[in-house]
Chains A and B, each alone.
Chain A
Amino acid sequence: MVADNNVIIQVSGLSKRFGEIQAVDGVDFSIYEGELFGFLGPNGAGKTTTINMLTGLARPDTGSVRIKGIECSVNPKATQHLMGIVPDESNLYPELTGYDNLTFCGALYGMERSNREKRACQLLEQFGLTDAANRKFATYSKGMKRKLTIAAGIVHSPPILFLDEPTTGIDVASARHIRQLIYNLNAGGTTIFLTTHYIEEAERLCQRIAFMVSGKIVRTDTTGNLMRLTEGRYVVQFALSKDIEGLADAMEKKFPYVKCQTSPGAAVRVESREPILIAPFVKFMEDHGVEVTEARKIRPSLEDVFVEITGIEANAIKGEKEKMGVGR
């Protein structure tokens, strides 16, 4: 754990209201230098509004934001040179080539021509886009667009990088590549503020995570501490030959030490604080005319912690993924 004097972003009592909606409600958190900090929550939780307030695209109603000790809630321009920002949608210039987009973004941060040209070539290589360097951004695939948008965010080598939903809406291979790039950037010393609604992404990448729900932070802790909440929990997922109404309730009556939950696609998830023996469950289901096609022990994940802390069903988040049409 890093010392308190290494705080690079300090947020206190940050709030923002849009009409009747309290988008962000008294949020406090600190991010340490060199940390990969995850901001996790469902769509509409207030993650993007928080990023916008930190970067200067939105004005906080109340609260303060200090970046590297500089108060920037009133004058965000004072700290914008320290940040790279990758928005939730790729927003580069469609009429410019990949190379021209990068050199233009470098120029916005005052980089000299020779420096930005060298840096653009280096980033195109690093992000596997050299072959597409002279193609217009409009012709890029979604995954390529996300990669170039991230490259544009770090063209001026900022010490802090804000990544808003970096892997949303892209294919599995590109998402993996982007996660590796994020990991490498952080390993190279960049402080990263990552918002995502992909729980497993946060679990894999982040050192600390804040759970945000309805504009409020409900818990902030290290990923390790959060995962410790899953210790002593056992989960088995049964795949069944057919869906049976009321099966989960019947199982809980028969096995009072477990919690059962049916999932879409003829499956039932059994959770317990005691080790789960599979055979009695298989027999129980056969007695109810259902064949068990697969029984799999599952390692409890951050998703379980998220559900326990926020009270939001994991299915609600999964539903969002399906809506986005994302293959993970």
Chain B
Amino acid sequence: MKARIAFWNILLKDMRSYYLKPPNVSWGIIFPLAWTGMFFIRSGQGLDSILTLLPGVVAISVLFGTTSMLAVTVTFEKKGRSFERLLLAPISLELLMLAKTTGAIIFGIANAFVPIIMASFFADLSGLNWVTLVPAIIFIAASSTFLGLFIAVSVSEVFEAQTFSNFIRFPMLFLCGLFFPVKQLPAWLKPLSYALPLTYGADVLHSSIHQVGNMPLIFNFLMLITFCTALFVMSLRNIRQRWIL
């Protein structure tokens, strides 16, 4: 009961202080719109390209929405020492970090639905498999958030978190199979591709939207769950080692 109150209020404070601030709301809307517009114009295929672009735009929106926020909600608070207040509260570190990351996961999911809602005005979405699409978005948001958390707790400064995020995010976009099928990547790049959580998320997105997946759905979800768990556990270990001296 007491833990539930703490969890809910940490989440609520983060939503009010960070995620629902006008700059972040506008970022959450404009960013997916800009990516969609860019790919739409670049494809030159008119409205037919909307569904082709959808998995990529959804994944980019989630990835950038989630990883960018953790640098602020965790690294910035650590730098300002207000994070100490949370560490001193009588709640477990696991619950505390889940509360800190749930806001980013919700923000990522909301970001994902911006291009989907937009696409619904121009394309027929009746062929989408929502039963797999929605869990895929949730797991992509969770794994991206925990990746952001892992970066945020591995550095000391906000700018370091953002720099490291970019080092990981941009290569990940091009290696995960969203824009170039993994099969077409050079042999030496393929292992790297399979070491990225987004590769499995992108495969489920392709499968849900285009009904063309390279790997079994259950395998993709298991891999996403494995990445979420591993990144969360490693982040907690880093906090215990680096922040509780």
Contact = CB atoms under 8 A, between A and B. Distances in A.
Contact of B92 (A77, A108, A111): A77
A112 B244 CA distance: 29
B237 interface: no
A50 to B, nearest CB: 13
A274 interface: no
Contacts of B6: 107-110
Contact of B82 (A81, A83, A85, A91): A91
A323 B203 CA distance: 61
Interface in A156-177: none
A13 interface: no
Which residue among A52, A104, A110 has the maximum number of chain B CB atoms within 10 Å of its CB? A110
B85 A77 contact: no
A128 interface: no
B90 A96 contact: no
Interface stretch (A56-64, A232-240, A296-304): A56-64
Given A57-B244, A91-B85, A94-B80, A77 B90 contact: yes
Interface residues of B, number: 24
Interface in B1-57: 1-3, 5-6, 8-10, 13, 17
Contacts, number: 69
Instruction: Kindly list the 6 A-B residue pairs having the minimum CB-CB distance in the complex, ordered from nearest.
Output: A110-B2, A107-B9, A108-B89, A80-B90, A81-B90, A91-B81
Q: Is the interface of B mostly helix, strand, loop or mixed?
A: helix
A107 B91 CA distance: 11
B225 interface: no
Contact of B13 (A18, A59, A91, A96): A96
B87 interface: yes
A77 B91 CA distance: 7
Q: Is the interface of A mostly helix, strand, loop or mixed?
A: loop
Interface string A241-270: 000000000000000000000000000000
Contacts of A59: 244-245
B131 interface: no
Contact of A57 (B80, B84, B90): B84
Interface string B66-101: 000000000000001110111111111000000000
Given A59-B244, A59-B245, A85 B88 contact: yes
A18 B92 CA distance: 26
B37 to A, nearest CB: 33
B26 to A, nearest CB: 18
A109 B86 CA distance: 10
A91 B80 contact: yes
A294 B89 CA distance: 54
A110 B3 contact: yes
Contacts of A104: 9, 13
B5 A110 contact: yes
A58 B244 CA distance: 5
Contacts of B80: 91, 94
Which residue among B85, B88, B91, B244 has the maximum number of chain A CB atoms within 10 Å of its CB? B88
Which residue among B10, B85, B87, B244 has the maximum number of chain A CB atoms within 10 Å of its CB? B85
B122 to A, nearest CB: 39
A110 B82 contact: no
Nearest to B6: A108
A68 to B, nearest CB: 13
Given A59-B245, A94-B80, A111 B85 contact: no
